Structure 1
Amino acid sequence: MSVLIPSLPDKAFNEQITLFSGPPNILKKPIQATHIIVRNGVMTGMQKKAFDFLLKKAKDSMEKQREEAGSNLKYPIEFSVNRLQLMNYMGYQGSNRKPFKDALKKMQTLTVEWDVLHNDKNFSWESCVLLPWIKIDSDMVFYSFTPHIQPMLFQNTLYSKLNLHIQGLLSTDPGIKLYDWVNRYRDIKFSNKETWQFWRTVLHGEVDDKSYLNQYKIFKRIKLVPAINEINQISDISIELIEDTNGSRMVQFLQFKIDVKPQFKIEDDMTKSPFTVHDLNLEFEELGITRHYATKLRKQFPINRILANIEYLKQRLNSNSTPITNRGAYLFAACSNDYASVNNAIETKVDEPSVDVSAEGIVQAFNKQRVDDAINMFKEMDIADQEKEIQIYNETLLNKAAAVPDESGSRQNRQMIPFFKWLAEKTWGEPTPEELIKFTLLLK
């Protein structure tokens, strides 16, 4: 039986948005270098950060060296990085270089087993020191990886995307190590299922028979739970711990459920999309989408869906349909219901019988939903914008007795319901067949 420990709520949203407003610093990290085990000591979180930072800089440098050397590129290859940049990323402050130098020297003694889960289906055993050669001068750090693993590090096509901006925020050793491992499963949703002793080695390292970490409840309290809490509070993912007793009274296996936090899903989509935020902003500007709706759209929808529905909106604007007065509201509704995908489905399934979009019940239900959307939109408006819409509506009325009163406390449903119907039609126009079909499918 599994026991689920729920994740903590995100407590650092504003800080994250500020820190990650620029493009993500993504390391395409080989899976073989993610699923590693240190067999002769303990790798600290700072050393894990250092390895990933050095690997990122090396991969960036490798691309340039490939362009220059072409087929003449030979291993081993030496790399360099600014010393202060590396120190800052590892979290070292001040002018004392000794702890920084000691941490790098220790990396020269750590023996690592690569790809312990055999993701590449190669079941051979491979082990070497983490970082064999380092040279530090006043400004730069020079380094190289073991020649035998350099092809694996730089030519591998099986990798996970590790955001170094987010890794840099983590400060505890278990949190840094666990994030590095489970981030690889962000698209799969569930990590590998292993014994709790295996995860102890991942988060801490190997222990002897006298270690207090031989008790699961102690390991969970001082290593596992703090790591989960830090990741859930600071990073771009939320994780849940699944404990499996395997039919016994004691916990035997552990697994993690991984969810990307909503505010970072657009960032994930951007790394997979040929489009950029720059493209999106240009589209918003050309269509006259207000900042209010542009912000809502970016926060709630993947970039591909927004761009697809922008094209749908452009087609609608170029048609002879009822004019759209509020393009931002219409685009938001289009993204919510993904009109673009429905339109494509209709175009590619012309042989299938169409839905009877003229059915009175469907139209009435659709219009009611539109009124509800208009009410919610009205609530989000500034008071000045609300009063402006009411003024425009009142001017269209022949029967002034039906006008919406100026005082909000005097407004009644008999006045407001017709107003919201008018606001819905003014904002979105008459429903198209595609929109009605989409709505019909949602009712089933």
Structure 2
Amino acid sequence: MKMKPEKYSKDKQILKKHVAAIHIGAKLSLLQRKLVNALLYNAYDQLLTAKEHKISASVLCEMIGFDSHNSAYLKGALKGLMETVVEFDVLEDDGKTSWEAMVLLPYAKLKGGVCTYRYEQSLAEKLYHPDVYSKINLSVLREMKSAHALVLYENCYRYVDIAHTPWWDVDVFRKLMSVDQMISYKQFKLLNRAVIQPAMKEVNELSNIQLELETKRKGRTVTGLRFIIRPNPQLSLIGMDTEDDITQMPAYKALMAEGVSKTLARAWVIEHDEAYIFEKLDLASNEAVRGNIKSSKAGFLRAAVEQDFHNENAQKQKRLEVAQTAKVERERLERQLDALKKAQREAETAYRRSCAERIEEAFQALPEAQRDTVTAEFQLSLGGRIYVDAFKKAGWKDRLNAVEIRKFWGARGVSFPSPADWAQKNGSSEPDALKAQIKELETEIKKPVISVKPI
């Protein structure tokens, strides 16, 4: 059976992640850490029952906020996971540690736009633990820009219910943050300045929690630390509630009642309007009552949804016509949304170039001997190899590190106009205004389709 292309929802998604995996000791890049979470989310429902798991490569890239056209980069990241021996150095609730090691991903395949992968049984059993897990918000992970922030969020979110982490020895914390081999972070003040504070700032700005650092001292030496965890007061504004709009839709709930997996139910509700889903549910129920289903009702339902089986009943046909009208309107809104997103990208690109020109002027104005020092200083502030390589390739005009570059030069006294001031001066569309229009239109598109009941 040929599957229709999946669509990925950028709505909130919650991943149940075993606490051992959260305290992972492997040296993974930011992209690889996001990839681990996305693959686990996709496989979770069948983690112990299926030998292989599949996901559309474009959906996978969307989940981690990655350019889906760069297949070579994705292959490299998957290969990196396959070559990674993971150390599970777990902090147990009683304060004791346990250690295990295993290959993170033994098999991966990309073919026809689909990623197929496997977990070893021992790892699958460890990752699937319904009683002991931490809820990791995938919408948060997708937004993270540094590996340190992502690791800090994962390690702290386990303890959100008790409002603080345990006290961690500084050496243990360095290992959790994967900087235990870096001599430059042996001094706590350097660790705090270059790792902890930037990571806390990013978590506090982008996630559904806020952190506050507390330390223990022996004399003048910091020996331990922990984080106070509070809910983000802007939670409702950034849309990170525990339940999202998709899971509250009647069609989603009806599919779950029929035993459809949450991943598949979500994909169907995103791809089709509610009238379409209810039509297929009615069709499956009627055919089951008539004894016309030879296999299973769930299997028939999947075929009905993906191959668009039709019921010629007049009442159901009326629903289909109403649904088609709604679909046409949604497509119109989606075209409008695409145009707004294009305008936003163009405005952001022009603003970024304007700022880059100021930065390049400031850089060229430095004495030649000082330029190398400034460049090296900025590279040390970057969170991972991917970001360093991108900067080496594109320099101060690098798009991936644009925000950090502006912060760096802003701290050195270079002033930048706000996007609004820049737009007004240059007669351009304001990026933030376009973003607000996009958000409003996306909210409109997400509204459930109201199906017409038969007379």
Tell me the TM-score normalised to structure 2 length. Answer: 0.48
Tell me the TM-score normalised to structure 1 length. Answer: 0.49
